């Protein structure tokens, strides 16, 4: 069963001055199955971020449809969109987006507090997640007191605690060193094994090589897809590199 | 490189940062023009010769000093704020290849522009406003002055000198800040990870204690002389207490709220409480300053305005008669009585020559001296009287004959009996002991138709009616032994009203004064109109000073608030965005931020209100010393001032909040 279905997504920006139109997405269609781990790759300006913003209901498409678990997200009323986002989607950002005013624990609680959950329930939900992400020791610290890897794991915990249907990750390893990157990717694999659907946007081949499927976007379209099948991370990495080279040198599809 | 590169760059920088520079420039201008005005008023000979009193000038001079000190502190505050905001910009220049000596040049030109611009504008404003102020003061005191333009070159020079020095110091301070830092630090600017403040229980507690003691002093002090001394102690305690409470107390309280899980983990509390902890850390000192400045302004303006308004009722207590004379007796009561009669006749003759008739005349003879009151005993030991300001009371003796004649009553007393009345409160005992005497109080009188000199005295006074002249002479001798050189004499008072306007009255008074000065008699004379004029000068001066400093403090408040809003706007913008990404709706974020701003904004005003309520009892005592006993008037004035101030405050809020939302909105 597909949890996310994207049909013919189109986005045209109009520049503020002069009214020039820029097509960010021309026609993007794909679907993500329940429990899948998908990476979306593409160069800067390929439309990755636009796609993610639309999936996150932060931006409106010019045309097309996004169906999350059977509901078209653009039919959700403006007032309920925040609640919808909070209940159905989890976010992990490149620059963590943790609030310095909250402790690690409170940062993780934030979406639940906004949803009006009881403290005891929040606590119950937090414990297994914190254990899995190995952040139990730092729960009472503040974001400025912990390392980048720990920050990103906190952000993951915050994304998971609402038990979202889909976790959207935007360049999650972009601000991490290689060791922290490896740790985070392992975490992603673990939570994916537990059944969490993940959609990750990245331009790191290494990050993408952990996913079960990699989609390449070029010029506002899905250009190519790679399925892991039985291949190892290393094979996957090589395949991704080849594809990226092809994309960069402008070779023909599947050539 | 082109010669004009740096001057041009500096000009551009100011233009680019107009949002922060315009308020700064305006502050400089207002401070300079205020300083000029105060300075010129304090040196304006016109005021002294017209009012005939130097006290107003002295107050202006004092105000001048206050403004100077204030200017230094305040301009440094705003300048450091500016530099903090601009560190990133300097960091960029630095990385783009400007050496620190080049930055120095840029900053030099910037400071020069601001200094020259604000000095010229400030003094120009000052010259115009000075004339208006001068006319207003004169109008206020009922003195007509011819219109004319007056430029105080001396004051201009003083202002230019003072502010040139201040700007030089600001320039050096800016350089110091730039020179100390590395480019990377400059680039990061104020963005260094702010740590969560620690809850300082001890300091918060100390703040509470300071405030409590300050309040306690203000509420319990009943003795007016002690009140003036203790007032300063209370003020300092309250200032310290306010600072400590705002800095430490607020954080302790917020952290307590955070510990309460069921309260804290609610959508609206969650964001507000944690946000406030940070806000308070950065703003506590500024907020405490606003609170104290507001309190000062309010107390100053409300008390001086009530004195201005209450002047006539003050005069009623202070001098019941238009003109009053006090003749000092020598050792003989009979001789004294005879001489005082002679003085009186001479005065009546002089009045008749001028065609003036004394009406509502009163005359009585009394003995007055002070003693340290210990319950019903009045201690005349000099050591006590001198040391214990605490309970000094004035005793004011008249004979029964005088009293009966004066009031038209027909009381009788024995040698040991007395009648007593108090000017501030009733004498609540059955006996009155002084020296070796032990008087039985036959009756507590409601009041004794006043004696101006006594009524205006700072201390409590008791009016005592004794049986006869022997008793008074006896007391006179006893106090003469006790006080030696400081002993009082028996005096005869003669007072009357005149059916004439104030100017004529003052003329007559001066005439009488000169005539009596030529006689051999030891006599003192005073005129209500004359006293009124000099009181008016003092109160008017205080009132103007109040308004002046009030305007200055309000300006400071506005600026502190404005800068706070702007700084926070930039910081909140990021938070605002993150929260929206995590699933907080636009409205929710807005609501939470508004509630935080409102709290931060109105906390000082609320605290100022509480300070004023607690200051009320002690200020009432102090005003009583200044003969203002109309409590209702003071309350009305205070409420009025508070209301006006609040409206002003709300206006500032609306204006600055707009600037804030413009920054936060994306």
Query: What is the torsional sign of CA B368, B373, B375, B379?
Result: negative
CA distance B590 to chain A (A): 14
Best to test chain A binding among B583, B587, B596 (most A CBs inside 10 Å) = B583
Task: Please name the residue of chain A whose CA is at the shortest distance from the CA of residue B263.
Answer: A119
Q: Are residues A114 and B583, on separate chains, in Cβ contact within 8 Å? A: yes
Q: For helices B100-140 and B18-43, what crossing angle results, to 10°?
A: 40
Model confidence at B209: pLDDT above 90? yes
Least confident of A162-171, B211-220, B334-343: B334-343
Pairing of strands A198-202, A166-170: parallel
Over 80: is that where the pLDDT of B552 sits?
no
Q: DSSP per residue over B278-334, as a string? A: HHHHHHHHHHHHHHHHHHHHHHHHHHHHHHHHTHHHHHHHH-SSSEEEEEEP-S-HH
Q: Residue B333 and residue B326: Cα distance in Å, rounded?
A: 15
Q: Is the pLDDT of residue A241 over 80?
A: yes
pLDDT band at A255 (very low <50, low <70, confident <90, very high): very low
Distance separating alpha carbons of residues B8 and B110, to the nearest angstrom: 10
Provide the token pair at A143: 């974001």
Judged by CB atoms closer than 8 Å, whether chains meet at A119 and B262 is answered as: yes
The residue in chain B having the minimum alpha-carbon distance to the alpha carbon of residue A97 is B578
B411 pLDDT above the threshold of 90:
no
In this prediction, residue B205 has a pLDDT band, given cuts at 50, 70 and 90, of very high
The per-residue pLDDT for B227 is 67
Residue of A nearest to B267 (CA): A114
Query: Does residue B149 have a pLDDT over 70?
Result: no
Alpha carbon distance, N-terminus to C-terminus of chain A: 32
Q: Mean pLDDT across chain B, nearest whole number?
A: 79
Residue B656, classed as helix, strand or coil, is helix
Q: Could you tell me which residues are beta bridge partners of residue B444?
A: B420
The residue extents of the domains of chain B are 1-192, 323-497
pLDDT tier for residue A154 given thresholds of 50, 70 and 90: very high
Q: What is the pLDDT of residues A163-192, one digit of tens each?
A: 898 999 988 888 888 888 888 888 889 889
Residue B3, pLDDT above cutoff 80: no
Look at A3-7, B184-188, B409-413, B610-614 and tell me which has the smallest mean pLDDT.
B184-188
Rounded-to-integer distance, Cα A90 and Cα A163, Å: 8
- pLDDT given for residue B212 in this prediction: 93
Q: Do B265 and A97 make contact, defined as CB atoms within 8 angstroms? A: no
**Residue B169: partners with Cβ closer than 8 Å, 6 or more residues away:** B72, B76
pLDDT at residue B292 greater than cutoff 90: no
Q: Are A61 and A35 in contact (CB under 8 A)?
A: no
Distance CA(B344)–CA(B333), nearest Å, equals: 16
CA distance B653 to chain A (A): 25
B661: Cβ–Cβ under 8 A, 6 or more apart, which residues?
B569
Residue B380 in this model has a pLDDT that exceeds 50: yes
Contact list in A for residue B585 (CB cut-off 8 A) is 79, 81-83
Give the mean pLDDT of chain A.
Answer: 85
- How far is C-alpha B70 from the geometric centre of its chain's CA atoms? 15
Interface touch B195/A144, C-beta < 8 Å? yes
Between A100, A102, A114, which is nearest B584 by CB? A114
* B419-459 pLDDT, tens digit each: 887 766 777 788 888 887 788 888 887 766 655 545 555 55
Contacts of A85 in chain B (CB under 8 A): 583
Please state, as a whole number, how many other Cβ atoms lie within 10 Å of the Cβ of residue A131. Answer: 10
Structure tokens at B495: 């007072």
Question: What is the model's pLDDT at position B268?
Answer: 77
Which residue in the set B195, B275, B582 is minimally distant from A111, CB to CB? B582
Contacts of A106 in chain B (CB under 8 A): 270, 274
Compute the average pLDDT of residues B390-418: 78
B interface mutation test: which of A56, A94, A101, A165 has the most B CBs within 10 A? A101
Q: What is the pLDDT of residue A199?
A: 92
> Which residues, numbered 631 to 660 in chain B, qualify as contacts with chain A under a Cβ-Cβ cut-off of 8 Å?
none
Q: In what order do the strands lie in the sheet with A21-33?
A: A71-72, A63-68, A2-14, A21-33, A221-227, A213-218, A37-41, A198-202, A166-170, A89-92
Name every chain A residue with its beta carbon within 8 A of the beta carbon of B581: 56, 58, 91, 93, 97
pLDDT digits (tens, 9 = 90+) for B354-371: 777 777 777 778 888 877
- For testing the chain B interface, which of A94, A110, A119, A141 should be mutated: the one with the most B CBs within 10 Å? A110
Query: Could you tell me if residue A28 is left (phi over 0), alpha (psi between -120 and 50 degrees) or otherwise beta?
Result: beta
- Kindly identify which residue of chain A lies nearest to residue B273, measuring between CA atoms: A101
Stronger pLDDT, A206 or B564, i.e. the higher one: A206
Q: Could you say which of A56, A82, A91 has the minimum Cβ distance to residue B585?
A: A82
Region B15-30: mean pLDDT is: 84
Contact A97 B267 (CB under 8 A): no
* B649 to chain A, closest Cα gap in Å: 29
Please report where in the chains the tokens 């440094």 appear, as a residue: B76
* Nearest residue to B72 via CA among B102, B28, B39: B28
Residue A101: its chain B contacts at CB < 8 A?
A: 196, 274-275, 277-278, 575
Contact B195/A102, CB-based, under 8 Å?
Answer: no
Q: Does B598 touch chain A (CB under 8 A)?
A: no
When pLDDT is averaged across residues B192-215 and rounded to a whole number, the result is 81
Q: Is the pLDDT of residue B168 over 90?
A: yes
Say how far apart CA B426 and CA B414 lie, in whole Å.
22
Would the pLDDT of B1 be above 70?
Answer: no
Subunit contact B265:A122, Cβ cutoff 8 A: yes
User: If interface means Cβ-Cβ distance under 8 Å, which residues of chain A face chain B?
Assistant: 56, 58, 79, 81-83, 85-86, 91, 93, 97-102, 106, 109-111, 113-116, 118-119, 122, 142, 144, 158, 162
- What DSSP assignment string belongs to B84-140? HHHHHHHHHHHHTT--HHHHHHHHHHHHHHHHHHHHHHHHHHHHHHHHHHHHHHHHH
Task: Kindly report which listed range (A124-138, B295-309, B450-464) carries the lowest average pLDDT score.
Answer: B450-464
pLDDT at B120: 93
Q: How confident is the model at residue A38 (pLDDT cuts 50, 70, 90)?
A: very high
Q: Which of residues 547-586 of B touch A (CB under 8 A)?
A: 575, 578-586
* Interface contact B583-A85, CB threshold 8 A: yes
Tell me if B578 and A82 make a contact (CB, 8 A cut-off).
no
How large is the C-alpha radius of gyration of chain A?
18
Residue A157, pLDDT score:
92
Comparing CB atoms, the residue among A110, A111, A142 nearest residue B196 is A142
As beta bridge partners, residue B392 has: B372
Per DSSP, what are the bridge partners of residue A32? A4
Query: How far apart (Å, rounded) are the C-alpha atoms in residues B341 and B338?
Result: 5
The answer to whether the CB of B313 falls within 8 A of the CB of B481 is no
Partners of B372 in the beta sheet?
B379, B392
Mutation to test the B interface, candidates A113, A125, A154, most B Cβ within 10 Å:
A113
Provide the 8-state DSSP code for B395: E
Pick from A56, A99, A142: CB nearest B578 = A99
pLDDT at B329 over 90: no
Interface test with B, best of A57, A97, A143 (most B CBs within 10 A): A97
pLDDT at B30: 85
> pLDDT-derived band of residue A254, with 50, 70 and 90 as boundaries?
very low
User: Which residues make beta-bridge pairs with A39?
Assistant: A200, A214
Token digits of residue B48:
């002294």
A83: which chain B residues are within 8 Å (Cβ-Cβ)?
A: 583, 585
Cα B22 to Cα B13: distance, rounded to the nearest angstrom: 12
Phi-psi region of B52 (alpha: psi -120 to 50; beta: other; left: phi over 0): left
CA angle B220, B226, B228 (to 5 degrees): 100
d(CA A6, CA A217): 14
B461 has a pLDDT exceeding 70: yes
Given a cut of 70, whether residue B384 has pLDDT beyond it is no
Task: Quote the tokens at residue B212.
Answer: 């409590």
Which one of B278, B585, B588 has the shortest CB-CB distance to A101?
B278
For chain B positions 189-228, those within 8 Å of chain A (CB to CB) are 193-196
Q: Name which of A95-99, A176-180, B374-378 the model is least confident about.
A: B374-378
Nearest residue, CB atoms, B274 vs list A81, A106, A119: A106
Instruction: Tell me if A82 and B275 make a contact (CB, 8 A cut-off).
Output: no
The phi, psi pair for A133, rounded to 5°, reads -90, 0
Alpha-carbon distance A217 to nearest alpha carbon in chain B (angstroms):
24
């Amino acid at each position: 069963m597909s949890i996310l279905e994207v049909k013919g997504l189109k986005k045209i920006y109009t520049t503020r001055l002069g009214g020039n139109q820029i097509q960010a997405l021309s026609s993007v269609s794909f679907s993500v199955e329940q429990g899948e781990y998908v990476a979306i790759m593409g160069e800067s300006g390929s439309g990755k971020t636009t796609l993610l913003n639309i999936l996150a209901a932060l931006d409106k498409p010019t045309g097309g449809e996004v169906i999350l678990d059977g509901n078209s997200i653009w039919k959700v009323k403006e007032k309920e969109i925040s609640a919808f986002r909070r209940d159905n989607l989890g976010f992990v950002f490149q620059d963590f987006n943790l609030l310095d005013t909250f402790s690690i624990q409170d940062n993780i609680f934030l979406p639940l507090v906004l949803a009006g959950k009881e403290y005891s329930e929040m606590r119950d939900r937090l414990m297994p997640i914190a254990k899995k992400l190995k952040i139990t020791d730092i729960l009472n610290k503040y974001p400025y007191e912990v390392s980048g890897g720990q920050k990103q794991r906190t952000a993951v915990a915050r994304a998971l605690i609402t038990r979202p249907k889909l976790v959207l990750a935007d360049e999650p390893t972009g601000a991490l060193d290689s060791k922290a990157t490896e740790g985070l990717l392992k975490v992603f694999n673990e939570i994916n094994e537990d059944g969490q659907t993940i959609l990750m946007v990245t331009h790191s081949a290494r990050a993408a090589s952990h996913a079960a499927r990699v989609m390449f976007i070029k010029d506002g379209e899905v250009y190519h897809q790679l399925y892991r099948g039985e291949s190892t991370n290393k094979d996957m990495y090589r395949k991704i590199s080849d594809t990226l080279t092809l994309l960069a040198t402008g070779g023909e599809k599947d050539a | 490189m082109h010669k004009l590169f740096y001057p041009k760059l500096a000009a551009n920088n100011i233009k680019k940062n107009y949002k922060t520079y315009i308020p700064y420039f305006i502050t400089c201008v207002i401070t300079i023009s205020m300083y000029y005005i105060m300075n010129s008023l304090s040196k304006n000979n016109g005021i002294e010769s017209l009012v005939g009193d130097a006290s107003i000038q002295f107050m202006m001079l004092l105000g001048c000093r206050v403004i100077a000190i204030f200017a230094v502190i305040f301009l440094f505050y705003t300048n450091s704020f500016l530099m903090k905001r601009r560190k990133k910009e300097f960091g960029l220049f630095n990385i783009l290849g400007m050496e620190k000596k080049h930055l120095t040049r840029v900053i030099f030109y910037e400071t020069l522009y601001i200094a020259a611009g604000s000095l010229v504008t400030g003094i120009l404003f000052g010259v115009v406003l000075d004339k208006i102020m001068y006319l207003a003061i004169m109008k206020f005191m009922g003195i007509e002055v011819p219109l004319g333009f007056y430029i105080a070159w001396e004051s201009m020079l003083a202002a230019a000198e003072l502010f040139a020095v201040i700007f030089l110091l600001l320039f050096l301070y800016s350089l110091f800040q730039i020179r100390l830092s590395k480019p990377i630090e400059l680039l990061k600017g104020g963005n260094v990870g702010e740590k969560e403040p620690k809850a300082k229980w001890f300091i918060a507690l100390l703040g509470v204690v300071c405030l409590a003691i300050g309040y306690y002093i203000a509420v319990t002090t009943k003795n007016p002389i002690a009140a003036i001394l203790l007032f300063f102690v209370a003020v300092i305690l309250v200032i310290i207490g306010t600072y400590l409470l705002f800095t430490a107390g607020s954080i302790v309280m917020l952290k307590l709220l955070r510990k309460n899980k069921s309260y804290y983990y609610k959508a609206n509390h969650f964001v507000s409480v944690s946000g406030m902890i940070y806000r308070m850390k950065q703003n506590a000192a500024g907020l405490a300053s606003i609170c104290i400045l507001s309190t000062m302004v309010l107390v100053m303006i409300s008390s001086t305005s009530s004195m201005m308004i209450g002047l006539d009722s003050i005069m009623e207590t202070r001098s019941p008669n238009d003109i009053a004379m006090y003749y000092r007796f020598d050792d003989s009561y009979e001789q004294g009585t005879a001489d005082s009669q002679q003085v009186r006749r001479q005065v009546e003759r002089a009045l008749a020559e001028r065609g003036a008739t004394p009406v509502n005349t009163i005359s009585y003879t009394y003995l007055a001296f002070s003693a340290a009151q210990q319950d019903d005993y009045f201690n005349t030991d000099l050591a006590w009287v001198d040391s214990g300001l605490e309970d000094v009371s004035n005793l004011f003796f008249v004979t029964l004959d005088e009293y009966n004649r004066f009031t038209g009553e027909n009381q009788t007393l024995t040698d040991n009996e007395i009648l007593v009345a108090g000017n501030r409160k009733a004498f609540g005992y059955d006996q009155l002991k002084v020296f070796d005497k032990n008087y039985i109080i036959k009756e507590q009188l409601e009041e004794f138709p006043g004696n101006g000199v006594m009524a205006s005295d700072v201390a409590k006074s008791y009016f005592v009616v004794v049986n006869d002249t022997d008793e008074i002479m006896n007391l006179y001798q006893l106090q003469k032994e006790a006080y030696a050189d400081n002993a009082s004499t028996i005096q005869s008072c003669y007072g009357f009203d005149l059916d004439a306007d104030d100017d004529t009255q003052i003329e007559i008074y001066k005439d009488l004064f000169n005539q009596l000065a030529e006689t051999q008699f030891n006599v003192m004379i005073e005129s209500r109109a004359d006293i009124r004029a000099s009181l008016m000068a003092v109160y008017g001066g205080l009132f103007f000073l109040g308004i002046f400093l009030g305007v200055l403090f309000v300006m400071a408040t506005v600026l502190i608030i404005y800068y706070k809003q702007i700084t926070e706007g930039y910081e909140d913008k990021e938070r605002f965005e993150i929260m929206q990404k995590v699933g907080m709706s636009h409205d929710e974020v807005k609501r939470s931020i508004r509630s935080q701003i409102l709290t931060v904004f109105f906390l000082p005003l609320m605290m100022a209100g509480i300070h004023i309520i607690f200051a009320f009892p002690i200020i009432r005592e102090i005003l009583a010393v200044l003969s203002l006993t109309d409590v209702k008037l003071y309350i009305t004035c205070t409420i009025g001032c508070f209301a006006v101030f609040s409206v002003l405050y709300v206006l500032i809020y609306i204006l600055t909040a707009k600037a804030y939302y413009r920054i936060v909105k994306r």
